[in-house]
Amino acid sequence: MTKTMSRAGRPRSFDQQVALGDALDVFWRKGYEATSLDDLTEATQLSRSSFYAAFGSKRELLLHAYRRYADAFYADMKTLADEHEDAKAALRAMIKALVDARPDDRGCFCVNAIVELAPSDPELAELGRAHIQRMCALLEELITQYGTRRPLARAQAATLMTLTMGSAVFRRALVAEDTLKSVQKQALGLLGLT
C-alpha cells in the first residue's frame, strides 16, 4: 500500500522516552486534571506540535505514562523475586521496597491515577485492575513457594497489595514515617516472616 522507498525528513530533536519520563513525572506530582499542556510542554521541552505528533493527546500520553510506570514497577518486583533464591527473603525485600519508598508526597503513580480517573476512564481502570492482578499473582506465587496453601496464599497476596496501596495514600498525605514502618512490620508478621 504505502510507498516504502525514499524516507528522509528532518530528524527528531528529542528522545521520546526521555520526554515520556518527564511527562510522567509531572502527572505523578500534580495529577492529571491539574496538569496543563503548558506544564507538559515546559517539562518535556517540546513544542505543542511535536508534543501532539509524538503522543496524540493529553489522555493518550497519560495512558502511555501509566503503562510505562506499571511495567517498570512490575519488572522491578520480578527482578527482586528472581534475585533471591529463598522466597521468604524475596518477599522480605519486596515488602521493604513496597512500603519503604521515598518519604515524599508523590505516593504511587498507579494509585494516584486510579483514584483520580478510574471511574471516568474505563480503559485506565482496566489497566489498573490488570496491574493489580499481575502484582497479586506474583506475590501469590512467591508465597506458595514456602508451603502456604493456595487459597490462603491468594488472600495474603491481596492483603499485601492492599497494604501497599494504603501506604501510598499515607505517603501522599505525609503521614509520619514511623507509622509506615510499623505497618511494614505487621505485613511481615502477617506472612509469618519474623
Partner DNA sequence: CACATTGTGGACTGAATGGTCCACAATGCA
Partner DNA sequence: TGCATTGTGGACCATTCAGTCCACAATGTG
Instruction: Give contact residues for a second copy (rule: CB under 8 A).
Output: 29-31, 33-34, 105-107, 111-112, 114-116, 118-120, 125, 128-129, 132, 136, 154-156, 158-159, 161-170, 172-175, 179, 182-183, 185-187, 189-190
52 scored as a contact of DNA (CB under 7 A): yes
DSSP letters spanning 83-152: H-SSHHHHHHHHHHHHHHS-SSS---HHHHHHHHHGGG-HHHHHHHHHHHHHHHHHHHHHHHTTT--HHH
Q: Cell 497519560, residue?
A: 62
Nearer to DNA, 10 or 149 (CB): 10
- Exposure string (b/e) for 160-174, b if CB count within 10 Å is 16 or more? bbebbbebbebbbee
12: contact with DNA by CB under 7 A: yes
Q: Does 29 help bind DNA (rule: CB under 7 A)? A: no
Binding of DNA by 49 (CB under 7 A): yes
Q: Which stretch binds DNA (CB under 7 A): 4-12, 84-92, 156-164, 177-185?
A: 4-12
